[in-house]
Structure formats: C-alpha cells, structure tokens
Amino acid sequence: MPDERTPMRRKSVELFAGGGGLAMAVHRAGFRPLLLNEYVKHACDTLEANGAVPRGEEERIPGEDEPWPLVQGDVRDLKMGYLQGEVDLLAGGPPCQPFSLGGVAKGDEDKRNMFPEMFRAIREIQPKAVICENVRGLLRPSFKPYFDYILRELEFPFEERDPEASWLQHDAILKAKQEQTKAASHERYRVYKFEVNAADYGVPQIRNRVIIVAFRGDLDIDETILRDAVKATHSERALRQSLISGEYWARHPKVAKHVRDHVMAGLQDEIPLGDEESEFKPWRTLRDAIAGLDNDEKPLPAVSWDRLDRVQYDDMPIDHVGWPDGRIYPGHTPNLLDRPAKTVKAGVHGVPGGESVMLTDTRITGPRPPSGLRYRHRYMTVREAARVMTFPDSWKLSGPRGEKMRQLGNAVPVLLGEVFADAVAKVLDDVENRA
C-alpha cells in the first residue's frame, strides 16, 4: 500500500483496478479505498503484493486503518448497494479494447465493453464524483456517435436501457431527457470530457487519452476549479528550449558530447520556439525517468550488454532485468532517451512490451552513413517502463515479464491520475466550504 501523503478525508471505489495506477493516484489525492475490483489474477496478485487484502463474502465498510479490500472476479457479479451514500469518488478505466486503434474495433458490439457496469455502479453507489479513463480511439469518427451516447448515459445513469432496445433508441430517450430533467437532480450528473496527453502533465511518455469527470447534479460545483486544476503544466516547446539553452544537459552532466551533438542536430526540423511557452515546464524524457529526476528515485544502473539474458541479478533493482532480441525496423521505431517515451502498450496484437525498444548512448560501427556509426538498442526493462508510467520503485508487480508489462500498458500513469483525483478533491472541498 502506498504511503499516505494526505489525510484520508474522503472515500473511493475503483473498478477495473488493474495493476493499481489509478488506485494509487486516487489514494495519494486523499481518498480511502472502500473497495477495489479486478478480474485478472496477476493484477490482483499485484494489488495484494502492495497491501490490498481479499474482502471475502462479507459486505461491510472497512475501518480507516484497514487495508484496501479487494474483490477478485467479474464486475458483473459484484454487488455494491451496501456502499450507497458512502462514496465520494468512483473511479475506473473500463476495458478499452473495443475502442482502441490497436484493438479489434468492434465498439459497442464488443462484449468487453464495460461502460454499462460503470453506470450500474453509479446507480447502486450514487457517488458524488466519477472519473473514467480510456483511449483516444473513443473519438474516432466511426465511434464518435457512440461515445456521445456514453456521455449521455453517464449524465443519466438511472435511465436504464431496455435490453431489447438498440443504443440508438436509448440515445433518443436520453436526448429527450436532457430537455426535461433539472440539472440539479441527484439522478443526473454533470459530465466533463478532457482529451489529454500525459506528457503535458509531467509523465515521461506520449500517452493520448480521454478522461471523463462527472459530478452529481445536486452538488453546487464550480467547474472553473476543475478546469483550472487540470490545465497542462509541461510542453514540448519548453523541452526544446531547455535543450538549446543547455539547462537540460546540466541535469545530465555525464552524457557524452557526441550524444548531445547528435540530439541537437535532430532539433533543426523541430517546432519553433515561442515566448508563450515560458509558463510551462519541459516535457520529462525517458532519460529523466531512468535518472530518477523529479521523482525522488535513485538513478537506475545501466544494463550491460552481456546481461540481456532474462536474469534478475542481485546487484540490480527488482524488475530491472535485461531482455534479449530487441529489434527495430520500419514501422517499429525505438524510444529515444531525450524525448518522452512512446506509449507503453498492453500488447493486444503481440507480446506485451514488444514495442518498448530504446536507443542507448552506446555507439557501434555500422553501415549507416556518414560516420559509419550507429547507436545500439535494447528492450526497456520492466522497471524502466514502470518509471515511464510514474509508478514508484516501491510498487511491486506480480507475474512473468509479459504480464507485468501488460499491467503497465493497461494502467493510468500515476501522476496523470493524481492530477485529476486532486482536481475532484478540490471541487468537493469547495462545495463543502460553501455549504
């Protein structure tokens, strides 16, 4: 269980908890988990390894000092009525494969679409606020009408869909209800959609997502507090400025000159600088993450080339294990150390972590002009990928390497989740202070 950074004034529930990224983020924002639910065994093992305990059959509210209660199993079998009136925040990332650009793209026809279970949870729990995270694929033109329907379902979760009705028929009912129902109803939610890139919030990774936040309609919320709290804090231009000014390299004084020169040469075709970016911090890079900068972690030691052998050595951090056979080729480009990492993926179409290849600072002779030199590459370790997802090194991951990478690829970056959970807490605090 992560260290408590703030008093646990509020209470939460998380569905589709996975490897715990969003759960940890919500906890750091001051919410005490009353229930976690997850289906996948390895992910449940991870949650237990970090302090969660199986709840058992008894439906009860845990005490303030008790561990996180975990229910492993299908969310469709989970009863949550005993939590009604107790929950400030319901959070979760319903399985996203139906909408992912890398998934099977069946949309609402895919049985893995778990948004209906989020709506059922809202009906049973009636939380003050909701956070949902999902992939940008929800906004694809072919899915956009269905995504708008999802937002209306979240707005009116108590208007249940007739099992015999199509989603279009149900959507027509919801559209009519928008004109008829008072905004202040406790059975209506105010819904806000945010299209975000995690890199813009200090996560050392390009990760484009949709985050949906909703508040119960009977709460007199100030939405400007929400919008101000989730504004981006980092930018690509600020990173480029930091590289050009030398501030970035001062943070990494041991980087060889030939590496710095190589990186700087690649900036020629980059986006131009702009004074309007001065308010932003630089994007965090993969090199920043490995060095532990901005995250109070020790630098990860280099993985020597004779250790790409799947062995956990005693002198290396847990999960900082070299892996063989990393490849790059057209369409399978590597991560660059002085940029945010590419999106960590769960491996829908291949081995989890199979795209997590990185270029290193090591040069070798090769056929590439003009110098005849090129940079060696290898797979990122699980620990490096965890840092890219802003998991602390103290967070234990369970299962074989592929399952650990799958948990990371499916997770919400802890830092990104914390921004939105903090924002919800600020809005709810304001409501109470004005009551």
Token reading at 220: 């007199």
CA angle (50, 51, 54) in 5-degree steps: 120
User: What gap in Å lies between CA 362 and CA 354, rounded to an integer?
Assistant: 21
Q: CA quadruple 39, 42, 43, 45: dihedral positive or negative? A: positive
Whether 216 and 127 have beta carbons less than 8 Å apart is answered as yes
CA angle (370, 372, 377) in 5-degree steps: 115
β-pairing verdict for 357-365 and 373-379 = antiparallel
Candidates 293, 306, 127; CA nearest to 204 is: 293
Catalytic residue among 96, 114, 154, 211: 96
DSSP state letters, 136-179: GGGGSTTTHHHHHHHHHHHHSTTSPPPTTS-HHHHHHHHHHHHH
Whether 15 and 404 have beta carbons less than 8 Å apart is answered as no
Whether 82 and 67 have beta carbons less than 8 Å apart is answered as no
User: What gap in Å lies between CA 126 and CA 83, rounded to an integer?
Assistant: 9
Residue 44 annotated in active site? no
What's the full length of the chain, in residues? 435
Which residues are catalytic, by number?
Answer: 96
